[in-house]
Amino acid sequence: MRSVLVLTAVALVLSACSAVTTTTIPASSGPSATIGTSEPEVHSQDDQNAGEATDIPVFEGTLQEMIDAYRECFRSLGYDIVQVGPNAYKTVGLPDDREVAEEISDTCTERVGYQASRPVPGTADEIRARYRELVDLRACLIGEGYDLPPAPSEAAFVEGFPNVEFSPWNDLPDQLPESDYASINKACPYQP
């Protein structure tokens, strides 16, 4: 009897942990002017043809160094990227064949990796700490001369987390020169 209880507890722990790892919300169609479309589908990595890199190393370095490493990787394969945000890049010149393009993308992801994920804030104190980091990032960006909209209140952020959007990077002007994003990361370093 006890072993049954233990196994049940383990199953509950495992399912609870996997639910925290990846979250999706059931499908619904988005508000869009549509000429023709198929119903969007949500998949997990277990699906066939997921097209996702599976062995992704941890990148030991800053966010800017990681983006620069991706640039180097794509260039070594004959392609390129353009940095489109402090935390973003867009590929340039990948082949029209989407399967080939995704393979090239996966190659660089497997070579470069991603920064280690920070723990998901779970308690109110952890969410408040994350909020204060974002407030500091916003203040730094304003100090660099960028005009940003007001931050949400701490109470609203904590209560609505993770659905209250507060991303100072997202509020930066579009299409800044690439060098500006590198300067931002140097002046206001932040790991999301």
Partner 1 sequence: MKVRHKARRRAVAFVTICLLALLALPALAVYEDGTHYCGGTQTAWAQSLTNGNTKVWPPGDSQYTYYSLGTGSLVSKRTHSPYGNGGGYWKVSTDESLNDPGTYPGCSNYG
Which residues 96-125 are close enough to bind partner 1 by CB under 8 A? Answer: 96-98, 101, 105, 114-115, 117-121
d(CA 82, CA 92): 7
42 close to 27: Cβ distance less than 8 angstroms? yes
CB of 142 to partner 1, least distance (A): 19
Per-residue binding string, partner 1, 137-156, x by CB under 8 A, is --------------------
Count residues binding partner 1 (CB under 8 A): 80
Short-list 52, 91, 83, CA closest to 67: 83
Asked if 3 touches partner 1 (CB under 8 A), the answer is yes
Site residues for partner 1, 79-98, by CB under 8 A, read 84-85, 87-98
d(CA 170, CA 89): 13
d(CA 28, CA 168): 28
Number of residues written out for the chain: 192
Nearer to partner 1, 9 or 155 (CB): 9
Per-residue binding string, partner 1, 160-189, x by CB under 8 A, is -xxxxxxx--x-------------------
